[in-house]
Structure 1
Amino acid sequence: MRSVPSHPVALRLAAVGLALAAALAGSVASAPLTVAAPAEAAAAVPPALAGLKVVLTNDDSARGLDAGFGTDGKGLYELRRALCNAGADVLVVAPWAQQSGAGARMTSPGFSPINITVQAVTPPAAYAGDCGAASTGGAVFGVCVAAAPCTSTSPSASPADAVNVALSRFAATYWSEGPDVVLSGTNFGQNVGSTLNHSGTVGAIVTAHEYGVPALAFSAEVPRDLAQIPNVPFAATANFAVRLLGALVKRDALKGDLVLNVNHPFVGAGETIGRAVRADVGHSNDIGLSFIDDVPATGGTYRLTVGAPAPETRRNADTTALARNDIPITALDGDWGTSMPIQIALLVASLR
Structure 2
Amino acid sequence: MASITLKGVSRDYGSGIYGVKDVDLEIRDGEFMCFLGPSGCGKSTTLRMIAGLEDITSGVLSIGGKDMTHTRPRDRNVAVVFQSYALYPHMSVRDNIAFGMKMRGVDRGERDKRVAQASAKLGLDKYLDRRPADLSGGQRQRVALGRAIVRDPDVFLMDEPLSNLDATLRAQMRLELVRLHRELGKTTVFVTHDQVEAMTMGERICILRDGQVMQVGRPLDVYDNPVNIFVARFLSSPPMNILPASLTDGRIACGLAEFALSSGQASAYAQANGRALKLGIRAEDLYAQPGPGRVPITAELRAIEALGAENILFAAINGHDIAARVDRRMLPAVGEQITLYLDTAALHLFDASTEQAFARPDPDTVRT
TM-score strictly above 0.5 = no
The TM-score normalised by the length of structure 2 is 0.31
Larger-gyration structure (1/2): 2
Q: Which has the higher strand share?
A: 2
Higher normalized contact order (CA 8 Å, seq sep 6+, divided by chain length): 1
